[in-house]
Amino acid sequence: MKSFVSACFRPSVLLLAMATTAGFAGDGRVEVRPRVFTTNGSLAIEFWSGKDCVGLAPAIAPAGVQIRLPGGEFEPVLFTNRTGPHDRIILGPVRVGSLTVRLRIKQVSPSLIERTLEVTASAQQKFATCFDFFPTDAAATYATFSESVSQPRLYNTLGGGPEYPESPGQTFPLAAIRSDGCVFGIIGDCPANWENRCLVRVDPQHRRLGVLNGDGRDPYELRIKYDAKDAYHCQMDGWQSLAAGETRSYITWLFAERAESHYDVQLAAHVALANGKGWNDSALEAILRNTAYLLCRRNLMRERSHSAGLRAGSHSA
């Protein structure tokens, strides 16, 4: 993109910016690329920028993906098969419970990686997935889209507003670090594509960033706090749910960019999402479509949804 706008969700604030003039890639931008290797009998993925490793592959998630099934905790997905060229890597398939899982890693540009987890169920299955990034820099500043973070925290992007008081919210599902004039971050997909379950984890103590499509919590009642008392409510839980034979894909993006301030982090995240989705012809298109895309939620509180027996977790609400 030649110019970009506002790092916030107010389209009226149009700030032309983001002319990066330094970096590691050939086009002057900071690069990030995957390195796949075998360790302890499974495939692991590190992330490199220039000659520096910026993202580790620890044993808790060597490929950067964990899955939780009912009755258990988050466990690493261990891939052993790799196919595809270096810029379109495919790991898997591998079985996890009733699920068959593949991980597709696409180098969209020198500074942007798309990770797609493809999940197929052989039987009805609930699950939750955590997509991780483990920074190497112990002195980095950790952040979400809205703020810097010094303590471990899990954010819920279900609402991102005061009408959802059950947890802190982030409308833009971003977890990032800023270090030595650069930002490295992970972006989650539109919450509507994840059944409204799109969470952000920032953990400076354990050098961990992540976005989750569920946390495995038990069902709870969700109400719109400032609306009609009995009109808008539903049962929500922390699981994705697939029927037998159903396949779904979950997309996240890893990006790198120059950043000297938190504003630069916000702007870089907007740029990365727009480039990942392909709506980068103009600054105005980027900010407007990013805004609309990330504000989308599945409407699980309509009266007719309840009368039809639909609950949060239905794919047709």
Question: Cα(223)–Cα(301) distance, rounded to whole angstroms?
Answer: 8
Contacts for 230 with CB less than 8 Å, ≥ 6 apart: none
pLDDT of residue 74: 98
pLDDT of residue 76: 98
pLDDT of residue 17: 35
In this structure, how many other beta carbons lie within 10 angstroms of the beta carbon of residue 102?
A: 20
pLDDT of residue 28: 72
66-84: per-residue pLDDT in tens?
A: 999 999 999 999 999 999 9
| Domain boundary assignment for the chain | 33-307
Q: What is the pTM of this model?
A: 0.85
47-64: per-residue pLDDT in tens?
A: 999 999 999 999 999 999
Tell whether domain 33-307 is in CATH 2.70.98.
Answer: yes
pLDDT of residue 199: 94
Residues of the chain under the 70 pLDDT cut = 1-27, 157-168, 224-232, 301-317
